């Protein structure tokens, strides 16, 4: 693969993802402040309900398409055609199932109305996701990034319009449906110019069998990421769901960071998994180090500044979310630590092993939530999330070390932990200032320590400095 293409994909994904996440965060905060804990809880309940069902639309076909398409592009017209056909049928069946089960779930009329709208939007988004996977297999992630950014921008603009005109919460969900329709039509027009879809139902069963490990992994991933929200919506009143969701979604926004890096190099890792185990291991260790340098200090900052941060973001309307955010802040660190180790299994044809680990995590998460939510409410759900993610990290690490290669990760952490600890002290010292100011001061100290003590980050810092200096000179 040409370095220029990798850099082009990385730049496009990075810029689009950062802009999209900024828009998503700003719009999400505006919606949360506007709706308040109870109505926001209804909105979160509807989202959790729909998201749980739409998971079963794909069965791993899209990820399997990326794996095979990155190795041989000739299979993509058939794989994409079969995948879209299958997802149309499953999405329709799942939507009807949503409509039937939302009544025994005990949801009120407002939540049921949102389920009807969000169900349609989610079905279209599921189809769009397969097209984005097609672009990923073609090494055209920049095309997917453009469409994903447009989707986020349209949702953001329409949602802000609803907030400014003081519309209802159902109108906010309608903004997502309108956007999904427009993006789906645009993607359809784009695909018609680029390829002719092929269909072969006799191949579909084999694709499902090969894609099932990916599908199970995605389902299990969702369960230990978001099943707590769904279970809370069934066991607790909407106001508690809103309090929990207000904290959780701030952490969820940050998860794009490990996602960007791994999605860009995903096809490369598949190739290295076949060609060179040593190069594969070296790449994984570097990714682990970079993600650790983001996740650990990020969690420390959120933990220390949870009170002033939430008070500022939500205008003091969600004080009950502060201790929940302090607990969930460590989820980001655990996720960054486990992300690259999970990709070792996926990119070395050990999808079933990863699926088994995530299946165990899903069962563990459900079991803890069934015990903890009725007794401890949103605090129990928070602890269940942390225990589950810690289990995933330990399991990934043990399996990789025992069955793949002797990955060296612990030696990457001492300097990062030291710098993060000092950063936390600085943030605590200046927590009386605006949270952005205290976070910036603490972050600057962290970077100085990290670059000063670690050779790898010295090289990264030097490279960035040279690039900035070069651009400034060229402009002058």
Give the Cα separation of 204 and 89 in Å (integer).
13
Give the Cα separation of 427 and 56 in Å (integer).
43
CA 222 to chain centroid, in Å, comes to 10
Q: Among 105-114, 136-145, 308-317, 321-330, where is mean pLDDT lowest?
A: 136-145
Kindly tell me if the per-residue pLDDT of 456 is higher than 90.
no
Quote the pLDDT of residue 460.
67
Quote the pLDDT of residue 29.
92
The residue that leads in pLDDT, 203 or 333, is: 333
Quote the pLDDT of residue 74.
80
Quote the pLDDT of residue 1.
44
Quote the pLDDT of residue 193.
82
Percent of the chain with pLDDT over 90: 46
Quote the pLDDT of residue 16.
66
pLDDT digits (tens, 9 = 90+) for 215-254: 777 777 777 677 889 999 999 999 999 999 999 999 988 8
Kindly tell me if the per-residue pLDDT of 451 is higher than 80.
yes
pLDDT band for position 263 (cuts 50, 70, 90): low
Kindly tell me if the per-residue pLDDT of 275 is higher than 60.
no
Mean per-residue pLDDT of the chain: 85
Question: What is the b/e burial string over 379-389, where b = at least 16 CB atoms within 10 angstroms of the residue's CB?
Answer: ebbbbbbbbbb
> Average pLDDT for residues 397-420, to the nearest whole number?
82
Quote the pLDDT of residue 25.
85
Q: Interior CA angle at 199 toward 194 and 202, to 5°?
A: 150
Q: If DSSP codes are grouped into helix, strand and coil, which group holds residue 140?
A: coil
pLDDT digits (tens, 9 = 90+) for 108-141: 999 999 999 999 999 999 999 888 888 877 777 7
What's the whole-model pTM score?
Answer: 0.82
> Average pLDDT for residues 56-60, to the nearest whole number?
85
> Average pLDDT for residues 339-367, to the nearest whole number?
81
| Structure token digits, residue 304 | 């220390």
Quote the pLDDT of residue 133.
84
DSSP tag of 255: T
Quote the pLDDT of residue 268.
52
Among the listed residues 473, 470, 243, 280, the one whose alpha carbon sits nearest the alpha carbon of residue 377: 243
| Structure token digits, residue 449 | 């320590």
Kindly tell me if the per-residue pLDDT of 102 is higher than 80.
yes
Crossing angle of helices 76-101/109-137, nearest 10°? 170
Residue 125, C-beta contacts closer than 8 angstroms, at least 6 positions apart: 54, 180
> Average pLDDT for residues 253-271, to the nearest whole number?
64
pLDDT band for position 298 (cuts 50, 70, 90): very high
Q: Among 78-87, 196-205, 333-342, 369-378, where is mean pLDDT lowest?
A: 196-205
Quote the pLDDT of residue 273.
45
Give the Cα separation of 250 and 254 in Å (integer).
7
């Amino acid at each position: 693969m040409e370095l220029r293409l990798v850099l082009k994909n990385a730049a496009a994904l990075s810029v689009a993802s950062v802009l999209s996440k900024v828009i998503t965060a700003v719009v999400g905060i505006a919606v949360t402040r506007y709706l308040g804990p109870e109505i926001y809880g209804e909105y979160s309940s509807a989202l959790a309900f729909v998201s749980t069902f739409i998971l079963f639309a794909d069965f791993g076909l899209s990820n399997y398409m990326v794996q095979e398409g990155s190795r041989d592009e000739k299979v993509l017209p058939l794989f994409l055609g079969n995948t879209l056909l299958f997802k149309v049928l499953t999405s329709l069946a799942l939507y009807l199932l949503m409509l039937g089960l939302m009544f025994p779930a005990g949801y009120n009329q407002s939540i049921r109305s949102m389920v009807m709208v969000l169900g349609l939007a989610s079905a279209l988004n599921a189809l769009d996701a397969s097209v984005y996977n097609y672009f990923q297999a073609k090494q055209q992630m920049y095309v997917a990034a453009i469409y994903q950014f447009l989707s986020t921008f349209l949702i953001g603009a329409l949602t802000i319009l609803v907030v400014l005109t003081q519309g209802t919460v159902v109108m906010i969900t309608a903004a997502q449906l309108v956007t999904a329709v427009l993006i789906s039509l645009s993607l359809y027009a784009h695909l018609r110019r680029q390829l002719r879809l092929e269909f072969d139902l006799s191949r579909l069963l084999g694709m499902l069998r090969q894609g099932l490990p990916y599908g199970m992994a995605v389902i299990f991933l969702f369960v230990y990421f978001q099943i707590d929200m769904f279970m809370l919506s069934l066991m607790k009143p909407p106001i508690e769901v809103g309090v929990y969701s207000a904290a959780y979604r701030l952490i969820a926004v940050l998860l794009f960071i490990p996602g960007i890096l791994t999605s860009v190099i995903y096809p490369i890792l598949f190739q290295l998994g076949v060609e060179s185990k040593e190069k594969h291991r070296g790449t994984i260790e570097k990714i682990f180090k970079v993600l650790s340098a983001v996740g650990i200090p990020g969690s420390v900052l959120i933990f220390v500044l949870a009170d002033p941060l939430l008070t500022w973001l939500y205008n003091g309307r969600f004080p009950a979310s502060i201790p929940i955010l302090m607990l969930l802040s460590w989820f980001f660190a655990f996720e960054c630590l486990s992300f690259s180790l999970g990709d070792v299994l996926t990119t070395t044809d050990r999808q079933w092993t990863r699926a088994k680990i995530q299946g165990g995590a899903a069962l563990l998460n459900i079991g803890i939530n069934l015990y903890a939510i009725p007794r401890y409410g949103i605090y129990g759900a928070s602890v269940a999330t942390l225990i589950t993610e810690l289990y995933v990290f330990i399991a990934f690490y043990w399996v990789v070390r025992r069955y793949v290669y002797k990955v060296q990760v612990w030696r990457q952490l001492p300097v990062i932990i030291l710098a993060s600890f000092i950063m936390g002290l600085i943030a605590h010292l200046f927590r009386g200032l605006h949270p952005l100011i205290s976070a910036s001061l603490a972050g600057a100290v962290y970077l100085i320590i990290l670059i000063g003590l670690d050779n790898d980050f010295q090289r990264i810092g030097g490279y960035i400095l040279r690039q900035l200096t070069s651009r400034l000179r060229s402009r002058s």
